[in-house]
Amino acid sequence: MSVLHSLRISGLRFHYSATGPAVLQIPELIVSQGQFVSLLGASGSGKSTLLRLIAGLLPPTAGHVDAHAETNSATGMVFQSPNLIPWRTARQNVLLPAELGPAPSHVSDRDVAGLFELVGLNVNDTRKRSSELSGGMQMRVALARALVLQPSMLLMDEPFAALDDLLRMQLEEDVRRIHDERSLTTVLVTHNINEAVFMSDRVLVLGGDPATIHADIDVSHLADRGRALRSDPEFHRLVDVVTNALHAAGSTVGGAPRQETSL
C-alpha cells in the first residue's frame, strides 16, 4: 500500500529580503499523512519561519512547499498565543474560519458541539468571551477553531509555551489523542524536548546558518501516548538522543560554514 504524503518540501530557500542572506534552507522534507512531526531548535533556528512557509503565510524565495501534496483539505493553525478575538464569544471564535474565504462554509450545531466535547470545553464556556476564559480554556478554544473546518493538517506554533506544567501535560495528551482520532498530519514547533518526544512520531532538529534540518529522529515506536509514557525508560532515552542532537545543532547556530546544497 502506498503512503500518502501530506507535505512535500523540495529545494526550499527563504530570505527575508531580496539582498539579505538565506535564513532557511531545506533541500527535501516529506511528511506522510497522519504523521506527527515536531520542529525543535534553538531560538532563531527557523522553526516558526518553516511553519509559516508550510502554512502559506510566507512565500518561499526558491523551491516548493506543497502542503496537502496528495490530499485536498484545509489547514488549521494554533498560534503561540490563543489569538482569540475579544469581542467574539468562544463559540463565535471557533466558527470564525467557517465565515471566511470566498465561499464561507456551514458548520452544523452538532458538529460544533462535538468539537467542544473533543477539546474538553463545556457548553457554558462557549458563550463566554475570551476575557472570561482561563489561559488553558482559551487554548482549547483556539484548538477547536483550528479544527472546525475538519482540516487534514494541523500546524501549531509553540501553543503551550505560556501554560503551567500540569496544564501543558494535559493539553499535550489531548492534542495527541485528537491527532490520532482525526488522523491529522500535525506539525508542532516547540522548544520543549519532552513535549516533542512525547507528542511526535518524528522530531526534526533545526540549526545552522542558514537554518536547516540537522537531525530527523524517529520516535514513532513509543507506546501509547498516555501519562505512563513519561516514566518509560525508552521515552527518557529518546529525550537524551534528541537533547544530544539539539546540542550538536545548537553549536552550529549562526556559526556553521555556509553549505551550498544542490537545489
Partner 1 sequence: MTDFRRIRTVLLECIAPVVVTLFVLAAWQFGVWASGISNIVIPSPVEVWQALVRQAPQLLEACIQTATAALVGLFGSVVFGVSCAFAFSQSRLIRSAFYPYAILLQTVPIIAIAPIVVIAVDRGFYGVALISMIISIFPIITSTTTGLLQVDSNLLELFQLNSATRWQTLWKLRLPNSLPYLISGIRIAGGAAIVGAIVGEFFVGSSLKGLGVLIERKKSGIHTDELYATVLVSTLLGITVFAIVTVAGEWILKRFFGMSLSGAGRSR
- Footprint of partner 1 (CB under 8 A): 52, 55-57, 75, 77, 79-83, 85-87, 96-97, 99-102, 129-135, 138
CB of residue 66 to partner 1, shortest distance in Å = 17
CB of residue 96 to partner 1, shortest distance in Å = 7
CB of residue 111 to partner 1, shortest distance in Å = 17
Q: Are 30 and 12 in contact (CB under 8 A)?
A: no
Q: Given the complex with partner 1, which of 39 and 54 has the nearer CB atom?
A: 54
Q: Given the complex with partner 1, which of 3 and 100 has the nearer CB atom?
A: 100
Q: Are 8 and 60 in contact (CB under 8 A)?
A: no
Closest CA to 51 of 197, 188, 206, 208: 188
Phi, psi of 235 (to 5 degrees): -60, -45
User: Which grid coordinates are listed for 126?
Assistant: 462557549
196/166 Cα distance (integer angstroms) = 16
Q: What is each CA distance from 125 to 76, 144, 181, 226, in whole angstroms?
A: 22, 13, 23, 26
The dihedral sign for the CA sequence 244, 246, 251, 252: positive
Q: Given the complex with partner 1, which of 157 and 209 has the nearer CB atom?
A: 157
Q: Given the complex with partner 1, which of 141 and 211 has the nearer CB atom?
A: 141
CB of residue 137 to partner 1, shortest distance in Å = 9
CB of residue 77 to partner 1, shortest distance in Å = 5
CB of residue 149 to partner 1, shortest distance in Å = 8
Q: Give the neighbor-by-neighbor strand order of the sheet with 22-32.
A: 22-32, 5-15, 62-67
Q: Given the complex with partner 1, which of 24 and 197 has the nearer CB atom?
A: 24
Q: Given the complex with partner 1, which of 121 and 203 has the nearer CB atom?
A: 121
Contacts of 196 (CB under 8 A, 6+ apart): 38, 40, 188, 190, 203, 242
